[in-house]
Structure 1
Amino acid sequence: MTNEGVNKSKRQFLTSALTVVGAVGTGFIAVPFLSQMQPSAKAMAAGAPVDVDLTKMEPGQLIRVAWRGKPVWVLNRTPDVLETLTTLTDKLADPLSNESLQPDYCKNEFRAIKPEIFLAVGLCTHLGCSPTFRPEIAPPDLGDDWKGGFFCPCHGSWFDLAGRVYKGVPAPTNLEIPPHKYVKDTLITVGEDNEEASA
């Protein structure tokens, strides 16, 4: 059998064209399959660090942000609040935060990098309810021992304005402090450690 009547350039063109069409078809099939294996934007955002702008925070103001599906509180504490925190030691279950969850750079009297700015995960360490922010001193429903803090309405746990738990309440430990760092004086990133402070 001879190849005299076969046009080799036409055969090569058809082979190349079919190869390209096959590659494109494979790409159309593979792209949706591979893209479904990527985490969704919502899933990626759930664990992503969150920036908190402090430029408009007033003294005594509490703002809330969401990080990893949890509420995070950021409180701008006044000098009076900082002074009050030093007087509560005998009323607290863990005043030095030895049994509590916080980064090493927040294991101090104020549980903060900078004393005036306090961050905490806004979930009670008893059963995960969200305590309410009660900054007033000695309200009628909480009594004279209340110097301002966070009150859990579910089972009555008390936390001071450093997230430290009072003695004799259901919550076993202080409020959790999330990892965070100052990007600049007025900007905090929640979810990233403060390498300078921990070094």
Structure 2
Amino acid sequence: MLRLIKYLVCVLCVVAGVSVADDYPQVSVDKLRQEIAEPVKVNMNEVPRGMAIFLDWAGTYPMILHRTEEDLRNLRKADFALLADDQDLWSEESILNSIFSYRTLLRARLYKQGLALAKSRAFRSLDENYLVVSTVSPLTGCNLLYKTGSEPEGAIFTDPCSSTYFDAAGRVLKGTLGGLFEADPERKAKYNLRVLPHKVTEDNLILLGELDPDELPEIKPDLQSTYAQATGFRQLAVAAGFNDVDKVRTLLKLGINPNRRSGEEEPLYNAVLGGSTELVRMLLEAGARPGGEYIKDAAEAAERVDVLRLLETYALQ
């Protein structure tokens, strides 16, 4: 499968009222806003039916699928009883659940604009021949697999981390979750793939970008309400991701352990993606373990040289 056009992966957004000690995450905000505004064009005349094009754009990891005739026949005769959410009723919840920093907040606004498109068109597409979705699983964050040959009838995508399947419109099939969730047999599949905002021209060019970030649908996180309903550790993870330095300082003084707990977000990981260098240092000084490769990978993806140095320094202590 083709992979076209390399773009910045890690993107962040900040709002007034949250202290920022250095140029991060603002520097990444500026890059993201520029990326959202610039056009990305894919000529689908050069992509045969059945082929998927994978891109890196605005941290959404788009996939553009040129549906086969069989895909279209299956969609036209789809048995809605097999679909967990044929009307995208759960998709807004899925989008809200993807937010753990101002980086993911801005990305969620892109998803929300794409959701409006999905709800308004047959097969969740501007053109029935093409599907434009994020390849990131809305449940696990794992990369989707395309036509492995093991999908049930009517499905063409698999989330390998939850054993869930999706049809050619990106709709999830009903079923009990497996993989990471096999210990919770009561939990069911319900989140569809996230459609991305795009345009299709008369000459079969698909256009991403050329969007005004200020005109994306609003999503306003209520941090104080989140804090009020969360445990101390959860508050720390949220505050780290949203670059709330004062809240992190207060929680650490209260003795909240910054290290990851099973099944919960990790404050240091969130800080690497959404917090200032000051905030990352604060967590490390409080005993946050810097050794995880995924934390280093996140810092490298975000091009945070200062944070990488901090992680290396504290890993040697």
SS at match of 2:133: strand
Cα deviation, residue 113, structure 1: 0.7
Cα distance in 1 for residues equivalent to 2:162 and 2:192? 15
In structure 1, distance between residues paired with 2:122 and 2:79: 11
Question: Does the CA contact (< 8 Å) of 1:72 and 1:119 recur in 2?
Answer: yes
Matches within 5 A, 1:24-103: 39=27, 43=32, 46-48=35-37, 49-85=39-75, 86-100=77-91, 102-103=114-115
Instruction: Give unmatched runs, 5+ long, in structure 2.
Output: 1-25, 93-113, 178-188, 212-317
Residue in structure 2 matched with residue 25 of structure 1 by the alignment: none
- Mapped pair 1:132 → 2:150: no
Q: Distance in 1 between matches of 2:57 and 2:36?
A: 7
TM-score (norm 2): 0.42
Q: Secondary structure at the match of 1:55?
A: helix
RMSD: 2.6
In 2, Cα distance between equivalents of 1:176 and 1:82? 19
Tell me the secondary structure at the aligned position of residue 165 of structure 1.
coil
Cα displacement (A) at 1:188? 1.4
CA distance in 1, matches of 2:54, 2:34: 17
Amino acid at match of 2:47: M
Deviation at 1:98, TM superposition (A): 3.0
Matched residues in 2 for 1:56 and 1:68: separation? 24
Q: Percent identity among equivalent residues?
A: 31
- Structure 2 CA distance, aligned partners of 1:79 and 1:96? 23
Give the length in aligned residue pairs. Answer: 150
TM-score by length of 1: 0.65
Question: Is 2:115–2:194's contact at 8 Å kept on the other side of the alignment?
Answer: no
1:164 to 161, 167, 171: 171
Aligned counterparts, 1:155-194, within 5 A = 155-170=162-177, 171-192=189-210
Match of 1:190, SS? strand
The structure where helix makes up a greater share of residues is 2
Give the 3-state SS of the residue equivalent to 1:129 in structure 2. coil
Q: Does 2:129 correspond to 1:116?
A: yes
- Secondary structure of residue in 1 paired with 2:45: coil
Gaps of 5+ in 1: 1-37, 194-199
8 Å Cα contact 1:125-1:174 kept in structure 2? yes
CA shift at 1:89, angstroms?
1.4
Specify the SS of the correspondent of 2:117: helix
Residues 127 and 135 from structure 1, CA distance in 2 versus in 1: closer, same or farther, beyond 3 angstroms?
Answer: closer
- Larger strand fraction of residues: 1
Q: Which residue number corresponds to residue 116 of structure 2?
A: 104
Q: What displacement does 1:45 show?
A: 5.3
Deviation at 1:44, TM superposition (A): 5.4
Distance 1:172 1:148, change over 3 A: closer
